[in-house]
Every structure is written in structure tokens, then in C-alpha cells.
Amino acid sequence: MPAVSEKDSGITPCELAVVVVNWNGRRDLADCFGSLHDCNYPSLRIIMVDNGSQDDSVAWTCMHHPEVEIIETGENLRWAGGNNAALRQLREEGFTGCILLLNNDTIVPGGSLDRLTAGLQGDDQAWAATPRICYAGDPARAWYDGGTIGSWSGWIKHDGIRRLTGKLKPGARYVDYGTGCALLLGSRVLEEVGLLDEDFYFYGEDADYSLRIVEAGGLILHVPSALVLHKVSASVGSQSPRKVWLRSRSHIRLLRKHWPRRRWPVLILTQSVYLMGHACWHLVNGRLATALAVLQGALDEMSGRDY
């Protein structure tokens, strides 16, 4: 059955801290913070971790959203490091509520926080929860409707991506991983799982954390009735060689960290097919440098080359 709101379920709303990592993202903050404010969620804290922005993100937030707590790191600690700065502070405070890791380029419609937290609070097996995430420019089309990880193949994908939401299943269900775009952590996660792994330079941190949650004994609940809009393009565009190289490196790091050696014979075969297919796709679309970056990233990670 679809998750219900906390008011309808009779569940007392948990204290909620929303952590938003920002790096030169001033243009997105108005929509993000404005939507969180308009949710009217009780016991809500919003924490912005500013990773050394060179724009006016901090000054603008202080002026227009004084309710937002700001942690200034003074440097770009990237997604994992930025979130960890807030997670450490919350842990030191003894915070016992739920924590939502949220991208700064998102919009949270009214009622979504209630439904997401109600879903997590109403399931004793779930340690984390995810909303349905749709394209902000095409809200009827999903970007994330759950995440699947092939336990033998190592293939990782978003379920429902680019599909119309009317054709997707509405019921809550357990999934293999939650995207860091919007990931709700239950009160026991920090104690049982700890902080995000900052050795993932970029990409893969959310899949790694999800796997660690499951390995520690928790489950990840997907709550489609909770919605977040993400400002990403619904079309498949070209990607920079640097971006693809980082993603390829992080993917190999994830596999080496979590996949037992007895699965490696199958994993090597499936990942060779995946990497070559990915490289060929860029090549036929005229992106030679990007195609080479797919393979170079995998080789650099296996050889331990510095970033």
C-alpha cells in the first residue's frame, strides 16, 4: 500500500534535519529552501553546508532564510565530506531524529516530507527511505523510482528512469539503494553505519552507504507517494570526459569494496561488457575522449593512480 501522511497515519512527526550541501549553487537555493519552508513540517531544521562557495550563497541565505543553519567548511569537501560535516555536528549534539540528505537543486512539494518520514517511522525494518524523484522540467516523468544493484553482475541502475509516473507502481517497497539526491536516514543509521566514505572522490558514495546499511542489518524503503523534483535534463546528453572518468573510477572502487571474491569471475565478465558497451556508445556518438575516459577511469582505479 502507498505510504500515508503522518496526520492520516496517527504517527507523531519525528524531528527532522535536512542537510543541503552547497558549492556555488546560489541560483538553486531559492527554490530549494522556499519549498522546504512551504512544507510546514513541524520540528524541521535546515542545515546548509557550504563547501567554500565563491558566489554569494552564504550571504544570500543569511538574508533571505535566516532560519537555515550554516556550516562553512572553507573548502570543497565534495558531497560526502560536506554531508559528513553536518552528520558529525548532529552526532555530537546527540540528535535523535531523522536526517534527510538533499541536493540543493531540488524542490520538495508540500506533504512529501510528511509522507516520507511516516513511511520510515511506520516500518521497523527500514533504516532509510527514498522518495520518488522526478524531473523538475517534466514532473510527470521519473528520474528515480527505486534503485537496483545486481548482486552478481554489479550493474547499478535507477528504476523507472524517464518513464511516466502513471505507469509506475504506486506502492512502497524495499530497494537496493537510495540516491544521495534525497536520502532519508533513520535515527539509528549514524550509530550503526557511521559517516559517508570520503574515499569516493565523486559518485558512488550513496550506493556505498546503501550497501553498508543493508550489510548492517537495515532495509531501504522506497516511498513513491513522497515526491522530490530534481533539476536535471530528461534527455540523454553528452558527458564530459572528466565526469565519466570519475564515475568509472568510483564504480570500480565500489565493486572492489563490496563484492566478495567468489563473485569476481562473473563480475569481471559483466563489467567488461558494461565498460566496453559504455565506451562504444560514446564513440558512435562522436565522443572519442569520453569513450576513452570510461576505460581510463577503470584502469586508473585498479592501478591506484592519484586523482
259-287, pLDDT tens digit by residue?
A: 999 999 999 999 999 999 999 999 999 99
What is the phi-psi region of residue 234: left when phi exceeds 0, alpha when psi lies from -120 to 50, beta otherwise?
Answer: alpha
- pLDDT per residue over 182-239, tens digit each? 999 999 999 999 999 999 988 999 999 999 999 999 999 999 999 999 998 654 445 7
Q: Is residue 7's pLDDT more than 70?
A: no
What pLDDT, on a 0 to 100 scale, did the predictor assign at position 5?
44
> What is the CATH code of the structural domain delimited by 6-230?
3.90.550.60
Q: Hey, where are the domains in the chain? A: 6-230, 241-303
From CA 173, how far away is CA 157, in angstroms rounded?
16
How far is it between the farthest Cα atoms of the chain?
Answer: 57
pTM over 0.75: yes
Q: What is the mean pLDDT of residues 118-130?
A: 97
| Confidence at residue 11, expressed as pLDDT on a 0 to 100 scale | 80
What amino acid is encoded at 143 in this protein?
Answer: W
